[in-house]
Amino acid sequence: MNQYFAHSLPPPHPQTKWELLACHLREVAEHAKGFAGTLSTESAPLVQAAEAAGLLHDLGKYRAEFQQYIRGGLAKGNPLTHHKQAGAARAFLARHAPVAFAIAGHHGGIPDLNDLKQSVLGPSGKAVAEQVWDAAVADCPELAGVSLTPPAFDSKDNLGAELFTRLLFSCLVDADWTATGEFERRAHRRPDEPKTPELNPTVRLTHLLNFIDERAKQVGATNVAHIREQVLNACLAAAEKKPGVFTLTVPTGGGKTLSGMAFALKHAEKYGLRRVIYVAPYLSIIEQNADVIRKALGVNQDDPDVFEHHSLAEPTSDDTDEKAREAAARRAENWDAPLVVTTNVQFFESLFSNKPGRCRKLHNIAKSVILLDECQALPPGLVAPTCGMLKQVAEMMGSTIVLCTATQPAFDHATLKDDRLVTTEIIPSDLNLFKSLKRVELEWPDGNDIRWSWSEVADRMAKEQSSLCVVNTKKAASAVFDELKARGLNGVFHLSTAMCPTHRLEKLAEVRRRLKANKPTYLVSTQLIEAGVDISFPMVLRELGPLEGIIQAAGRCNREGELPNAGGRVIVFRSEEMKMPPGWYAAGWDKVEQALRLNQPPQIDVPGDIQEYYERLYNSGNLDEQDVIPKRRGFLFESAAKAYELIDDAGQPVVVTTWKEHEVEIRDLVDRVRDITKPRRAAFRALARFQVNVRHWEIEKLRAQGLICDLDPDLNLLGWFGEYSPHTGLITVASQDVLIG
């Protein structure tokens, strides 16, 4: 056979325009080397492995059967056309397991160790590698010089080798998809992808500091403004310290988000870090803070300098077959942007994933400043593997991590052992921020187990000119909303994840306008309002729950210190229903309830009380409930990925086609997404604003009722065709509130 091809083109393109296999292998190897070389100053073993993986990844395409297939002589799916196993086998037999894993996973995902062994020793592995080797070297002489010397790792702990493999896999996948995309653009005479903008931290920091200064002038010379200035100065001073893991412990309203961004930019400038990644637990925070970050940095809405990435922003199809790979390469994001705004789900599940689409971005997480906002939202049952991974991200990937919250979890808990995080606090202890920023008086329920009905809750809210109530479930939020509406009150609002992002933003904007105009305003919400939502009520009711939730709810009261002498009121109550999400949420509730029954309620403005709560909470359960760490140590990549889920049944995005106020806009976006002849990435992102996550166990039932239907089966894009309330959004049979990233 005179010519070996990697990729073909449809008619009328002649065969002379197809991509030669040797050219593809060289391009992938060169890209992979480049990606690996940017990770750290000590990346020589990774660079060497990346080049080897790039040259070997499609070795099996030299088999005659694959060349027959690409010329139309064999049907798709014929086992004789399988090609990833040969290169993996050559690396595996040379005892270079990371290269073998990376190649074996570059189509469908990194396999578990036993599956890798079966694959490379199977009919498409070792035998094919030996069969095609001479022809492959003759066609691509660089293959003869491939170095497969395994890097040295600590024999006592496989976690270093495991993360090395993940980074190598990321470099290979991104290189393969990038090279394939470049070939497609050349073949179809499309323009090159625009060059990725640089971070320019000095310029961005100047914008940010000017923005903060203008905001401070609007607030005026208040105590809150003075404290925010102190927080900012502390962040700028700490940015001079060496990269590592930091904590930024600031009470709600202390300006930690923008001050944390100032730390990130100055730190990146001093130590040559490549990007800033802002991570938040819920879409409600992303919706608000992404816009603020853009304004603060002088970035327009459509500017590629800031990239938002969350679970609603892309289709959920499984891009594992060859035909779908080019489309996946166009829309899968590798976070090659100077500023990334994303959710816990995207960030952490990508670190533990084994899938090409998610892992493609890993090498771009290296040498970054990572701001983990509201880090207390991490599920305790995943604290151990999460802390262990963050420790590695700092040590092996050269990134700086900042844990930002008013309720700092015990990530140095004794039970974490080798996975505990050793951190540096940014805020000097002598600032006494919790005492200085005290703006509310909190009233705990007594130990007599008095419980309020939803009617009593509504009555209590109605006595105030404006009030906020935070409850534990969507069902409870709906019930309190109905009670408030039944009283004929003006300015009644509901907020939950049953509403799409645009709907929530519109409601919050209206609530803020009414509060600013001193109009009566009554808002009932699930926990989504607690973390980071910039809103301030004079009085807040909070259904009894975990301490961190109560503290965060208190942060929505007298936020700007507009009421003097800690004039805000926060009332914690027990409800008659007393339902809540199970697991650790209920465990947190139980720890608070125990303290109340002992007549020892925790003080929310005393950091020691918060620390003691987390100590007790973490002692009450397994911090690695799914045995993620043993799976990582055993090179069980697929099993570890399945075990590490921040949200049980995170659900699937469903487009709310029946929201009357935006029906035309939604229909137009759906049409644009369906149109395969035009670029669709912008339409996918825009459509995310009109989606609600529905849990998988509900979807089939709702399909049967005709309430959920396919909008585009190829993209697994679903639409909601039932009623969508302008007040409460999409309501299904769910009775418990799950916040989805």
pLDDT in tens, 685-705: 788 889 998 988 888 889 999
Higher-confidence residue: 472 or 224?
Answer: 472
Q: Say which DSSP state 195 is in.
A: P
Q: How far apart are CA 171 and CA 364, in angstroms?
A: 9
Residue 454 has a pLDDT of 97
Count the neighbouring beta carbons within 10 Å of the beta carbon of residue 721. Answer: 18
Task: Calculate the alpha carbon distances from 688 to 281, 309, 448, 682, 711 in Å.
Answer: 17, 10, 46, 10, 14
Backbone angles phi, psi at 529, to 5 degrees: -80, -15
Is 90 exceeded by the pLDDT of residue 557? yes
> Which pLDDT belongs to residue 565?
77
pLDDT at 532: 67
CA distance 416 to 413: 6
* pLDDT (0 to 100) of residue 135: 96
> In this structure, are residues 557 and 539 in contact, taking their beta carbons and an 8 Å threshold?
yes
**H/E stretch holding 350:** helix 344-352
Tens of pLDDT, residues 485-542: 999 999 999 999 899 989 998 999 999 999 999 999 999 999 888 866 789 999 999 9
> Which position has the higher pLDDT, 47 or 188?
47
Q: Which domains does the chain have, with CATH numbers?
A: 5-187 (1.10.3210), 201-312+326-435 (3.40.50.300), 439-601 (3.40.50.300), 652-720 (no CATH)
In which residue are the tokens 């203008």 written? Answer: 214
Summarize the chain as % helix, strand, coil (round to 5): 50, 15, 35
Q: Per DSSP, what are the bridge partners of residue 652?
A: 694
Is the bond preceding 12 in cis, omega lying within 30 degrees of 0?
yes
Predicted local distance difference test score (pLDDT) of residue 718:
93
State whether residue 708 is helix, strand or coil. strand
- How do 691-694 and 466-470 pair as beta strands? unpaired
Strand order in the sheet with 275-280: 306-309, 339-343, 275-280, 368-373, 400-405, 245-249, 424-425
pLDDT value at 44 more than 60: yes
Return the pLDDT at 315: 42
pLDDT at 614 over 90: yes
Percent of the chain with pLDDT over 70: 93
Enumerate the H helices of 38-96 as residue ranges.
Answer: 44-56, 64-70, 84-93
* Assigned token pair, 498: 């049953």
Tokens, residue 737: 């509130």
User: b/e map of 515-535 (b: 16 or more CB within 10 Å)?
Assistant: beeeeebbbbbbbbbbbbbbb
Q: Pinpoint the alpha helices (H) of 353-453.
A: 356-359, 362-365, 383-396, 433-436
Q: What is the pLDDT of residues 383-416, one digit of tens each?
A: 999 999 999 999 999 999 999 998 899 999 999 9
The tokens 């209206």 sit on which residue? 510
pLDDT in tens, 335-362: 888 999 998 988 998 999 999 989 999 9
pLDDT score for 650: 63
- Give every CB contact of residue 579 below 8 A, 6+ residues apart in sequence: 472, 473, 475, 476, 735, 736
What is the model's pLDDT at position 681?
A: 66
Return the closest-CA partner of residue 129 out of 115, 112, 146, 114: 146
Tell me what the mean pLDDT of segment 72-85 comes to. Answer: 89
Residue-wise pLDDT tens digits, 256-265? 999 999 999 9
Name the token pair of 321. 């077959």
User: Taking Cα atoms as reference points, which of 278, 281, 302, 728 lies closest to residue 479?
Assistant: 728
At 438, the pLDDT band (50, 70, 90 cuts) reads: confident
Residue range 132-151, pLDDT digits in tens: 999 999 999 999 999 999 88
Query: Distance (Å, rounded) from C-alpha 450 to C-alpha 529?
Result: 26
User: What is the pLDDT confidence band of residue 89, given thresholds at 50, 70 and 90?
Assistant: very high
| Cβ-count burial 286-321 (b if 16+ within 10 Å, e if not) | bbbbbeebbebbebeeeeebbbbbbbbbbbebebee
Number of residues written out for the chain: 741
Between CA 466 and CA 484 the distance in angstroms is 12
pLDDT exceeding 90 applies to what percent of the chain?
67
Nearest of 552, 548, 483 to residue 522 by alpha carbon: 483
What is the token pair recorded at 260? Answer: 């944390």
Q: Are 650 and 740 in contact (CB under 8 A)?
A: yes
Whole-angstrom Cα distance, residue 566 to residue 572?
17
According to the model, what pLDDT value does residue 628 have?
A: 97
C-alpha to C-alpha distance for 568 and 549, rounded to whole angstroms = 17
Distance (Å, rounded) from C-alpha 333 to C-alpha 223?
Answer: 43
Question: Which residue, 397, 398, 314, is CA-closest to 358?
Answer: 314
HEC per residue, 585-638: HHHHHHHHHHHHHCCCCCCCCCHHHHHHHHHHHHHCCCCCCCCHHHHHHCCEHH
Would you say residue 311 has pLDDT above 60? Answer: no
